[in-house]
Amino acid sequence: MNAIYIMWLRQLKRYFRSKARIFGSIGQPLLFLVALGFGFGPTFAKAGEGDYIQFLTPGIITMSILFTALFSGIEIIWDRQFGFLKETLVAPVSRFEIVIGKTLGGATVAVFQGLIIAIAAMFIGFKPQDIWTLPLALLIMMLIAILFAALGTAIASVLDDMQGFQLIMNFLVMPLFFLSGALFPLDESPGFIQVIAMINPLSYGVDALRGVFLGVTHFGYTTDLLVLGILTAVVWSIGSYLFSRIEV
């Protein structure tokens, strides 16, 4: 347990030491929120769908969590190149504890950034349906963060260069985000988009968070939480196995 805490704390220290990293990581989600929210808001309202800021915000919160959680895996490659990973792996602690700490650290940072976006959204017009649903929203945000932090760890565990990791992340991030229903209602989407959304794990995170904040879901709470829970367990197990196979 001590190793888990140390790795978790180390991830947080790395994040909070860099103010540029903090502001840079929330800049893109805020840009999407303001530009798309106000740009497409009138069109969304004319189509009879209501306030676009309300609809869009859960998707942008999820986007912020996705980006940060996935890219947390690059810390493994960074540590490998500078020798810190070797020192960590030869220590008399379980590799399973190390990967749990790293994943939880990356997930905690991602949830923190999601909260920053949620608070910022309230200043530009976002109004959650019920403030008492915040604990459930945090649970969902943490599930999303752990799922994609574990995925980032799994990918980083089989790569040894940052360029390859960034290429794979860029290939994954945008399709996951744009085809999750974060920007448009899935109910009125073409059939093939709905099929893609059904196999996109981020869709269930967006849907669950939108349900908590707005009281409307596409798949249903039970399905959302079940899928997120199962996928998190599976991906975390795969990530832990791949990390344990790293040679020092």
Mean pLDDT of all residues in 213-238:
90
Is the pLDDT at 240 greater than 70? The verdict is yes
Is the pLDDT at 4 greater than 60? The verdict is yes
* Cα–Cα dist 58/129, whole Å: 12
Q: Which two tokens stand for residue 15?
A: 């994040």
Q: What is the pLDDT of residues 180-223, one digit of tens each?
A: 988 888 888 888 889 999 999 999 999 999 999 988 888 888 89
Complete DSSP assignment for 116-162: HHHHHHHHTT---S-GGGHHHHHHHHHHHHHHHHHHHHHHHHT---H
* Cα–Cα dist 240/226, whole Å: 21
Q: What is the pLDDT of residues 100-144, one digit of tens each?
A: 888 888 888 889 889 989 888 988 888 888 777 788 889 999 999
pLDDT of residue 62: 93
Is the pLDDT at 13 greater than 70? The verdict is no
CA-wise closest residue to 66 among 122, 137, 147 = 147
* Cα–Cα dist 56/126, whole Å: 9
Residue with tokens 């650290």: 105
Task: Give CA angle at 26 (70, 159), nearest 5°.
Answer: 20
Sign of the torsion angle spanned by Cα atoms 104, 31, 227, 244: negative
Is the pLDDT at 19 greater than 60? The verdict is no
pLDDT of residue 228: 92
Q: Which two tokens stand for residue 228?
A: 């997120």
Burial of 216 per CB tally in 10 Å (0-12, 13-18, 19+): middle
**Residues whose CB falls within 8 Å of the CB of residue 163, separated by 6 or more in sequence, listed in order:** none
Q: Which two tokens stand for residue 180?
A: 């999750």
pLDDT of residue 8: 63
Task: Quickly state the pLDDT bin for 91 (edges 50, 70, 90).
Answer: low
- Cα-based distances in Å from 208 to 1, 61, 212: 31, 12, 6
Q: Which range marks the domain in which residue 221 is found? A: 2-244
More confident residue, 5 or 51: 51
Q: Say if residues 1 and 92 touch (Cβ distance below 8 Å).
A: no
Mean pLDDT of all residues in 153-179:
83
pLDDT of residue 231: 93
CA-wise closest residue to 107 among 133, 137, 142, 140 = 142
pLDDT of residue 208: 93
Q: What is the pLDDT of residues 24-74, one digit of tens each?
A: 667 788 888 888 888 887 877 776 667 888 899 999 999 999 988 888 877
Lowest-pLDDT range of 49-63, 138-152, 154-168? 154-168
Task: Quickly state the pLDDT bin for 77 (edges 50, 70, 90).
Answer: confident
Per the structure, how many domains does the chain have?
1
Task: Quickly state the pLDDT bin for 243 (edges 50, 70, 90).
Answer: confident
pLDDT of residue 14: 66
